[in-house]
Homo-oligomer: A and B are copies of this chain.
């Protein structure tokens, strides 16, 4: 199994967290995005979208972090990280969708804008406004639940973690969100949780 990634990418980090929690052997292939390797061949043949992460396993190629989490959870995680029953599965996928939507286009884009001065989907203020929609939904849920989707950690928590943790880098302080802060700490305390790479 090969994971194509970029060290600083939160979407790549999601996959590393789950690989580490599930103890799945894998090879890391770092993509040279500074030289735009992700926008050129041969990478574009793996992923027409031109982004990391990409997972290659046994002839299966997946180019979306949410899909990779689904794949690994169902292949190596039994019922724990993505259960099979329609209600619980959909509850998990709802937060995974939030991670690809408001969290991606709020927190991730604003962070990239601040760090790289590159604005491709709105201004800092627009990103921060969208980020707050996501953070308010998380805070409301976590005010009286330990985990996002179910009564245990799932890929919902993994998908939301990376760009929520780096919210301050998108100039969105987490002080107004005590339940989120406690949840971030709970995630990091899970046995096998992967370290962020810089």
Which of A's residues lie within 8 Å of B, judged by CB? 48-50, 60, 62-68, 70-72, 74-75, 84-87, 89-91, 93-94, 97-98, 100-102, 104-105, 119-122, 126, 129-130, 133-134, 136-137, 140-141
Contact = CB atoms under 8 A, between A and B. Distances in A.
A46 B40 CA distance: 44
Secondary structure dominating the interface of A: helix
A3 B90 CA distance: 15
Count chain B CB atoms within 10 A of each CB in A62, A84, A101, A134 and give the residue with the most: A101
Contact of A62 (B62, B72, B84, B91): B91
Contacts of A105: 105, 121
12 contacts: A48-B136, A62-B91, A66-B94, A67-B90, A70-B93, A72-B86, A74-B86, A74-B89, A101-B104, A121-B126, A121-B130, A122-B122
A109 to B, nearest CB: 8
Nearest to A50: B133
Contact of A100 (B89, B100, B122, B141): B100
B50 A71 contact: no
